[in-house]
Structure 1
Amino acid sequence: MATLPLIKVAACHAAPVFLDKTATTAKALDLMREAAANGADLVVFPESYIPAFPVWAALWAPILNHDLFERMVENSLYMDGPEIAAISAEAKRLGIFVSLGISERSKASVGCIWNTNLMIGDDGSLLNHHRKLVPTFYEKLIWAPGDGQGLRVNDTRIGKIGALICGENTNPLARYALMAQGEQLHISCWPALWPTRRPDSGSNFDNVAANRIRAGAHSFEAKAFGVLCAGYMDSSMRNFLVDRDPQVAEILDATPRAATMFVDPTGTQIGGLLQHEEGILYADMDLNKCIEPKQFHDVVGYYNRYDVFDFAVTRRRDEPAHWHDTPPTRNQLSDLGETRVAAQQPLEETYRLFNTRDIA
């Protein structure tokens, strides 16, 4: 007898309207409506879908990209901005869950942005706000490091859903942090392409294989379904880059395109694959199939040795300053304190860490 949800997931293998947050938001709303009309419970978007993935950081030296960085910042989203409000309102109207990749803008700095993934509930609420822990390779020229506050699995009516961004799926500790919260559906979001070398020097990166291996390994270890949602480079995006420098055409055309696909709790690919064309990929998932494989090895159950291994995660939002105009209350200290997966630190220790004097 089925006790866990049977769901339909939509993964949008889609291009943004390159570096245009308003137009890309409108496109995202259209894709959500199309997916919902086809019965989707969850709609997933690629990494940094709004406003785009900054692929130019792989193509030109930083001193040649200042204008593009400024444009990226200008088109990044504030968390309380109209774009996220529109996505949330539409998710509520449609009754669907949405995983959205954005470039997030800081209120504390005119030039600080993060690579962020949002999980939005079917009631329009923000369920999770995760900033990529470590920007990968040339992404460090664009995005600031994130924090552990968003390393959370959302327990929803359609299952326990977690998400990591691109290279985070190579980090076994980040992945284990989600497994340890009972994750049943894992979202991994990716850029449309990942240039690593010039074509005349050969390639050391098979995009499709690398992403499938990482997602398949996680699903096999977590005994969870996996959604690999990659971006798509359309002609407008390619033309924008090539018009700026015709020499990059060879690099762009020789770089393998990322693929969107699904895997089951054994790590096996299910359903189709989208790589060289834009569209929405769908899969039906019976989360009851997460149960049987746990008999073989449950790495957050009997198939571990907690007496040998000790794992703790700090889930705290990094802020440039903590303001105490009056002595902090216990609730304020609790909000600022370290939240651990295994255990909560005593309030007095949290209090000491923040170098305050009095507990009100």
Structure 2
Amino acid sequence: MTNSSRQEFKKIRVAGVQAAPVFLDLNGTTEKACELILEAGRKGAELIAFPEAFIPTFPNWYETLAESPKARELDKRLFLESVEMDGEHMKAIAEACAKANINAVVGINERSPMTNGSMHNTQVHITRDGIIAGKHQKYVPTTGERQVHTPGKTGHYNTFRTNFGVVSGLICGENSNMLGMYAAAVNYPVVHVGSWPMYFHPYFHMQHAILTATAGLAYSLKCFVVNAVSRITPEYIDAVAETEEQRVFLEEQRAYLPGASILDPSGNLIIDGTGMDEELLFADINLEDVIIPKLIIDTAGHYNRPELFAPLFQK
């Protein structure tokens, strides 16, 4: 007797991208994403996770540049090079997933066809047979992102089903959003993808935020977490640094050692990136490891009382 919908808790390999996009280059970054997908597939991964708005580049310049003609010119380039969901670039990425037999969560700057002013910060969900299973648009853009990104219109959904189980995903600061985590929890993900940019603002270190937020998320959801992080290139620094102080800050961020990371269902670090060089970070994980922690604390099931909290949403 067989049941194709029955969850199998098997051993799989996952991959987290630690790489820089080809700066504000839709064609170049799409090609790079396809190459990373194919490499991860050749090395046996069943899931690859990409950084926040990887294609064509996350608009990180608002962490150091004030609103100015230079910033707005970068915004225009971002729009011109952004991704349309039904376009040839997403088709190429989906075809690469099918060729590599791998599932993917891909971060893009998304623009709607036939528009000229609005973009979303989006994670695209792609299955190993090359099907675009859905997308999650960031619920609320953070700080400077609001200059270019509009709030998401895809509802609370942030999961999709793969051959090995449910995968969830949240973008940057959303990984500490309790309601976003609950929206994932009710679908019982076995792996979660956190998509992150290149750096945060000068007075708050990104790596601390990543490990603090996603260790808590992994512990709460009782699932593995793959954090994907972009890297800074000299080209990027030349494009966005206006002062020597800004250049020094960006060079320091570029040289900072940790990048991508993979955590277990208790929030413990399995592996993290080794340095400023780009790499695909791999981990072999046993999905059975989610069971015992979930039997103890299931925030979507026996360890919650949603009827007690429902009145909070009626205020």
TM exceeding 0.5: yes
How far does residue 245 in structure 1 lie from its aligned partner after superposition? 5.2
Partner of 1:356: none
Q: Judge which range, 275-284 or 150-159, deviates more.
A: 150-159
Structure 1 counterpart of 2:13, from 4, 8, 14? 8
Partner of 1:207: 206
95-104 vs 294-303, which moves further: 294-303
| Aligned-partner Cα distance in 2 for 1:23–1:311 | 50
Structure 1 equivalent of residue 307 of structure 2: 307
- Secondary structure of the corresponding residue to residue 308 of structure 1: helix
Which deviations, in whole Å up to 9, do the C-alpha atoms of 1:153-203 show, x marking residues without a partner?
Answer: 2122121101000011121011111001111111001001112x4xxxxx3
Secondary structure of the structure 1 residue equivalent to 2:306: coil
**Alignment correspondent of 2:3:** none
Deviations along 1:68-123, one digit per CA (max 9) or x if unpaired, are 11100000011111110100111112211111000001235301111010011111
Amino acid at match of 1:178: A
Q: Partner of 2:122 in structure 1?
A: 116
Q: Deviations over 1:211-255 (max 9, x none)?
A: 11111101101110001111111222223334x655520231344
Q: Quick one: distance in 2 between partners of 1:66 and 1:210?
A: 28
Is residue 8–residue 165 contact of structure 2 (8 Å, CA) maintained in 1?
no
Q: Out of 23, 30, 38, which is 2:43 matched to? A: 38
Partners of 1:12 and 1:237 lie apart in 2 by 18
1:152 maps to a residue whose letter is N
Select which of 50, 53, 58 maps to 2:55.
50
Distance of aligned partners of 1:114 and 1:311 in 2 relative to their CA distance in 1, 3 Å threshold: farther
Q: Distance in 2 between matches of 1:209 and 1:61?
A: 25
Q: What is the root-mean-square deviation of aligned Cα atoms in Å?
A: 2.0
Q: Which has the larger radius of gyration?
A: 1
State the match for 1:262 in structure 2: 262
Report the equivalent of 1:63.
68
Secondary structure of 1:226's counterpart equals strand
CA distance in 2, matches of 1:44, 1:152: 14
Task: Report what 1:253 is aligned to.
Answer: 251
Aligned length: 304
| Cα displacement (A) at 1:275 | 4.1
Q: Which has the higher contact order (CA 8 A, sep 6+)?
A: 2
SS state at 1:189 partner: strand
Superposition deviation, residue 59 in structure 1: 1.8
For 1:108 and 1:274, the matched residues in 2 are separated by 42
Tell me whether 1:228 sits opposite 2:227 in the alignment. yes
Residue 276 of structure 2: aligned partner: 276
Of 169, 180, 186, 1:174 maps to 180
1:124-139 alignment, distance < 5 Å: 124-139=130-145
Shift of 1:285: 1.3
Deviation at 1:5, TM superposition (A): 2.4
* Cα distance in 1 between the residues matched to 2:177 and 2:110: 22
The alignment-based identity, stated in percent, is: 32
8 Å CA contact 1:159, 1:287 repeated in 2: no
Which residue of structure 2 aligns with residue 216 of structure 1?
215
Q: Structure 2: give runs of 5+ residues left out of the alignment.
A: 1-6
